[in-house]
Amino acid sequence: MTGERILILDFGGQYDQLIARRVREMQIYCELRPCTMSIDEIKAFGPSGIIFTGGPHSVYEEGAPTVDSAVFDLGTPILGICYGCQLLAKLLGGEVEPARSAGAREYGKTETEFNSGSPLLRGMGQRSVTWMSHGDYISRLPEGFVPLARSASCPTAAIGDEHRRFYGVQFHPEVRHTEEGSLLLHNFLYEVCALHGNWTMESYRETAVRELREKIGSGRVLLALSGGVDSSVCAALLDEAVGERLTCVFVDHGLLRKDEGDQVEAAFAGRKLRFLRVDAGKRFLGRLKGVRKPEEKRKRIGEEFIRVFEEESRKLGTIEYLAQGTIYPDVIESGAGSAAVIKSHHNVGGLPAEVGFRGIVEPLRSLFKDEVRKLGRELDLPESLVSRQPFPGPGLAIRIIGTVTAEKLAILREADAIFREEMAAAGLQGTADQYFAALTNMRSVGVMGDGRSYDCAVALRAVSTEDFMTADWTRLPYDFLDRVSVRICNEVPGVNRVLYDITSKPPATVEYE
């Protein structure tokens, strides 16, 4: 992507993805990259502004993450957040020390006073609540900096060098708990960096189509089509870019929900796209035999997908490129930047080292889920596809804790179908952004038909979210949950207990594995 670009250098903070979300919401393109980027890589990126994220370290610790100090010679506006603020101060000649008393540390909502005369703070009130999370403080400012905000315990809650356009905030403007955080970020982008906000799905569509044509040339493309939002939008975008040189291959890996394979085929039956369905259920189940670890499941499924696509491409003749509906959260959770690997998505960390294609095409790789939906509408896809709930590529394999067997898949399919059927009947689909059943690896004693049972426990999961990077559990009515529980226990052999998961993300993830 070209034009206005914000570079977010990742120092391992827990809210780093939220910074990217907030910047994108303000119609500015940004990318989250590791803080270890070289100065040449930073120059090549061509940032209009740079943001240093927070992080769990202290800047004075040995081995603490840092950045090439040549970044300060680029003439580019910089905003440091929390750890990023302290690093900015340290590298420019200031001093950072641990708080001398427990009372000087700040965690959570904090009353903060602002100097609204600064471009960074323009339009903000003199006092509002910010979200703090720090045990260190800037004890001496670098030359050229002045304090712009203070709290009861922190005289340097915000700092700035107006001449060089370097700023730092000790709090987290990206979280909703900071009352005027969005205004501060908007000021950095539009007042300090003087950007105009040209990041729209219309502009993305035009740029993505042009770049796809440049990369693919006269080559042919095989798209891994699941029928979900991401791969469907990817199909429409590639169809616009390369037309008849695109073949969509839907691999029915035997890990789908009840009747889903037929539903996907029906959804694409009336389209001009070249659509192939491959029945590979037995081979995938064989590859998963005895596998218990989630990461191993994902990697085996990811590799088997590639092998199926390679085989199909040989049948079709010369296929130079494999296309996937990889999106930005997949990349981040698979260990992008300085982030820990939360789980290797089958289409990112699960890919084998050797792939039998000239290249992999991922036109949605820089988009969040809500942006993918917006692009789908821009491409005139039906709302039924655009609004479809996410379904993981590894399918039910990662909603079965432990080993995957045909018997467990049958149990889970029926339980999940009942849950989804009841959600629709009760008109509750719009209350949750994703909902499903999972099969735990727990068996428990029950009483069924006046006799003892020792059967499986099914967990129900429903979450509400903006971008799937964070999520809150959905408060479904008790009488509804009771109805679902009774149906599952009565209608699904092998189940005698139903649980409802009330854990948000974090600390959990949306999926179980």
**What is the pLDDT at residue 335?**
54
- Comparing CA positions, the residue from 71, 79, 66 lying closest to residue 19 is 79
Encoded tokens for 52: 């240093």
**What percentage of the chain reaches a pLDDT higher than 70?**
92
Q: How many CB atoms lie within 10 A of CB 310?
A: 16
Q: Between these two residues, 504 and 329, which has the higher pLDDT value?
A: 504
HEC secondary structure over 151-196? ECCCCCCEEEECCCCEEEECECCCCCCCCCHHHHHHHHHHHHCCCC
Catalytic residue among 4, 31, 106, 174: 174
CA angle 495-497-500, nearest 5°? Answer: 120
Determine which of 88-92, 155-159, 423-427 has the lowest per-residue pLDDT on average. Answer: 155-159
Q: What is the pTM of this model?
A: 0.69
pLDDT over 70 at 504, yes or no: yes
b/e per residue 174-198 (b: at least 16 CB within 10 A): bbeebbbbebbbbbbbbbbbebeee
**What is the pLDDT at residue 85?**
95
C-alpha dist (Å) from residue 470 to 30, 367, 463, 508, 510: 19, 16, 10, 9, 9
- Rounded CA-CA distance 2/44 in Å is 11
- Rounded CA-CA distance 434/389 in Å is 6
Q: What would the mean pLDDT of 266-285 be, rounded to a whole number?
A: 85
**What is the pLDDT at residue 192?**
97
pLDDT over 60 at 387, yes or no: yes
- Comparing CA positions, the residue from 144, 208, 239, 195 lying closest to residue 27 is 195
Catalytic residue among 30, 82, 85, 234: 82
User: CATH homologous superfamily of domain 201-386?
Assistant: HUPs (3.40.50.620)
The backbone torsions φ and ψ at residue 68, rounded to the nearest 5 degrees and listed phi first, read: -60, 120
Which CATH number among 3.30.300.10, 3.40.50.2300, 3.30.70.260, 1.10.540.10 corresponds to the domain 399-500?
A: 3.30.300.10
pLDDT over 80 at 466, yes or no: no
Cβ distance 224 to 238 under 8 Å? no
Q: Let me know if 163 is a catalytic residue.
A: no
DSSP 334: T
- pLDDT tens for each residue of 408-425: 999 999 999 999 999 999
b/e per residue 61-87 (b: at least 16 CB within 10 A): eeebbebbeebbeeebbbbbbbbbbbb
Determine which of 96-105, 139-148, 309-318, 428-437 has the lowest per-residue pLDDT on average. Answer: 96-105
Encoded tokens for 498: 């139903």
DSSP-based three-state secondary structure for 323 = strand
pLDDT over 80 at 343, yes or no: no
**What is the pLDDT at residue 345?**
43
- pLDDT tens for each residue of 241-251: 999 999 999 99
Cβ distance 357 to 321 under 8 Å? yes
Determine which of 24-28, 409-413, 464-468, 473-477 has the lowest per-residue pLDDT on average. Answer: 464-468
Cβ distance 19 to 25 under 8 Å? no
Banded model confidence at residue 270, pLDDT cuts 50, 70, 90: low
* Partners of 114 in beta bridges: 149
Q: Which helix (H) or strand (E) holds 280?
A: none
Query: How many residues are recorded in the chain?
Result: 513
pLDDT over 60 at 297, yes or no: yes
Banded model confidence at residue 100, pLDDT cuts 50, 70, 90: low
Catalytic residue among 30, 35, 134, 172: 172
C-alpha dist (Å) from residue 466 to 327, 386, 432: 15, 15, 11
- Rounded CA-CA distance 200/466 in Å is 18
Encoded tokens for 150: 């203070």
Q: Let me know if 82 is a catalytic residue.
A: yes
pLDDT over 60 at 360, yes or no: yes
Cβ distance 32 to 73 under 8 Å? no
- Report the mean per-residue pLDDT for the chain: 88
Residue limits of CATH 3.30.300.10 in the chain: 399-500
**What is the pLDDT at residue 342?**
43
Alpha helix (H) residue ranges in 217-269: 229-242, 260-269
* Partners of 321 in beta bridges: 221, 359
- pLDDT tens for each residue of 158-187: 999 999 999 999 999 998 888 899 999 999
Q: What would the mean pLDDT of 137-149 be, rounded to a whole number?
A: 92
CA angle 378-384-387, nearest 5°? Answer: 70
pLDDT over 80 at 354, yes or no: no
- Rounded CA-CA distance 202/195 in Å is 18
Residue limits of CATH 3.40.50.880 in the chain: 5-192
- Comparing CA positions, the residue from 58, 69, 178 lying closest to residue 114 is 178
Q: Which helix (H) or strand (E) holds 139?
A: strand 136-140
**What is the pLDDT at residue 3?**
78
Q: Let me know if 172 is a catalytic residue.
A: yes
Q: Which residues contact 190 (CB under 8 A, 6 or more apart)?
A: 26, 196, 197
pLDDT over 80 at 107, yes or no: no
Banded model confidence at residue 154, pLDDT cuts 50, 70, 90: confident
DSSP 243: G
- Comparing CA positions, the residue from 36, 37, 39, 51 lying closest to residue 5 is 51
Q: What would the mean pLDDT of 443-464 be, rounded to a whole number?
A: 89
Banded model confidence at residue 104, pLDDT cuts 50, 70, 90: low
5-192 CATH: 3.40.50.880
